Structure 1
Amino acid sequence: MTYHGWQEVIGAIGIFGMVIVVVTIVVWNLAATWRARAILARDYAYRRLAEQTVHHQDAIDRRLAGIDERLTDVQTRMRSVERILKEVE
């Protein structure tokens, strides 16, 4: 091989190496972007889940408060009935 032949081989290897480096960097950055988007989507899903959970807990608290009021009313009535029954005996 002549001097120019070796230069072409070295140049081709250099260009091939540069292409590999550029492709690797592009793929690496795309993968990092995809990971970041996946993390953001997961965080958004967790945030929505937390908001829904708080909403449902508030609804449960309201229902429990209503049940507590009704139970207190039933207990009051039961005591009244017991007192009346004791007076009747």
Structure 2
Amino acid sequence: MSGRIFVAMSGGVDSSLTAALLKERGEDVVGVWMRLVPKGTDANAPRCCGTDEAGEDARRAAAHVGIPFYALDYADVFGRQVV
């Protein structure tokens, strides 16, 4: 084992499969997702990895793989400093 590996999970196939393959290999894997769109505005936002809907997809994928999952809220910072 090479230590703990954090996988940025979007709720899509690529990050979910990466987490699953690492776990299968015996690695200590943790899933992490970042909210980039303010909570409650998903209906007006394009489908992207930073919406609550995508976060729920990522949470379900992590649960299916059997790894811990953390959701981090960066919507305010992202809105002020990136968008």
Query: Do these two structures clear the TM 0.5 threshold for a shared fold by scoring above it?
Result: no
The structure in which a higher percent of residues are strand is 2
TM-score, with structure 2 as normaliser: 0.23
TM-score, with structure 1 as normaliser: 0.21
The structure in which a higher percent of residues are helix is 1
Structure of higher RCO (CA pairs closer than 8 Å, 6+ residues apart): 2
Q: Which has the larger radius of gyration?
A: 1
